[in-house]
Amino acid sequence: MNIEIIQHRIRSFDGTSIRYQAFGSGSALVLSNCLGGSYQLYEKIYQRLSQTYRIISWDYRGMPQSPCERKNALTIENHSRDLAAILEHEKIKHAVFIGWSMGVQVNFEFYRQNSHAVAGMIGLHGTYAQPFRTALPSRYINKLVPSLLQLSRKSLSPAGKIIQQTSNAQLIKRIFQILGLLSWNVDKKLFDHLITLFRTANFQSYIKTLENLGQHTAKDLLSSIDKPTLFVAGTCDVITPAHLFRHIDEQIADALFVEIPKATHYGPIEYPDQYRSLISDFLATDHPALMSWRNNIDRSQTIAIS
């Protein structure tokens, strides 16, 4: 199926130029990316979803397509404000928000600022707060990572550029697989694309965004979320392990938690059919908030699929 993906550009709340994508037709479904990722990593999931829903995604500020040289502006709060600006420009009042990894925290922060616009939330392999403390398995790693990031940003930019320029997708994939960080079932094309995105990223912006991600928390929000939520974890995800989602499941009144056997942190490009099925089933449930979202469609906001 050939999907016509329209690229747009807006000025966000502080003048930052943000590129975003809009395609498909129907009720609005937002895709919030993993750090350094793009909507294309969701390809095998959105191909069918775009037949029923209008898909919105965007390139985070600080990434090559949405450049932002002000490092103090690369906060999770500002990413969520960029999303709010996009939805305002698109005249979208209600949406369901899917987040992968960093995107989970961006969506939590969006909920803090705009809960009225959230019909439901889907979190894939992410955490609710300070991932270096809540996600990574070792308390020693948790203490070490922030210092390493700060050192990398201040002193190792040339080294980072060398790593980016010499990255071999096949070698990285094999190393990740041997270490158990990546399934042997991963889609080669999509993983190659992920490595390409890393090569072209602004290293300083990438590290600063990761630092800010490590400091962000939405722990105070969990018990107040009253919208239907689906959280998906992988049994082999050592970066954001399943116990994080069990904690979220306990705090949010209307949460559904699912584990994907053998999936790592990159589950959406390892087992896309399972993720697409889970997401589709969740979106089609008879929860009042989701039913209202599906039934209140601005028919003028559709883009044809060729």
What pLDDT is stored for residue 160 in this prediction? 53
pLDDT in tens, 225-256: 999 999 999 999 988 888 877 778 788 988 99
pLDDT in tens, 174-201: 888 888 889 999 999 999 999 888 888 8
Note the pTM of the prediction, 2 decimals.
0.88
- Angle of helix 203-215 versus helix 157-166 axis, rounded to 10: 110
What pLDDT is stored for residue 300 in this prediction? 38
Mean pLDDT, contiguous 10-residue spans, the chain (306 residues): 87 97 95 95 94 96 93 96 98 97 97 96 93 63 50 52 61 86 92 88 87 92 94 93 81 92 96 97 96 74 34
Could you give all domains of the chain from N- to C-terminal order, each with its CATH number? 6-295 (3.40.50.1820)
Burial 13-49 (b: 16+ CB within 10 A, else e): eeebebbbbbbbbbbbbbbbbbbbbbbbbbbbbbebb
Distance CA 1, CA 20 (A): 21
Q: Would you tell me how many other CB atoms lie within 10 Å of the CB of residue 223?
A: 11
Distance CA 45, CA 34 (A): 15
pLDDT in tens, 127-145: 998 887 766 655 545 554 5
Q: Are 232 and 275 in contact (CB under 8 A)?
A: yes
Burial 177-216 (b: 16+ CB within 10 A, else e): eeeebbbeebbeebbebbbebbeebbbbbbbbbbbbbbeb
What pLDDT is stored for residue 276 in this prediction? 97
Burial 254-293 (b: 16+ CB within 10 A, else e): ebbbebbeebbbbbbbbbbebbbebbeebbeeebebbeeb
Chain centre to alpha carbon of residue 22: 16
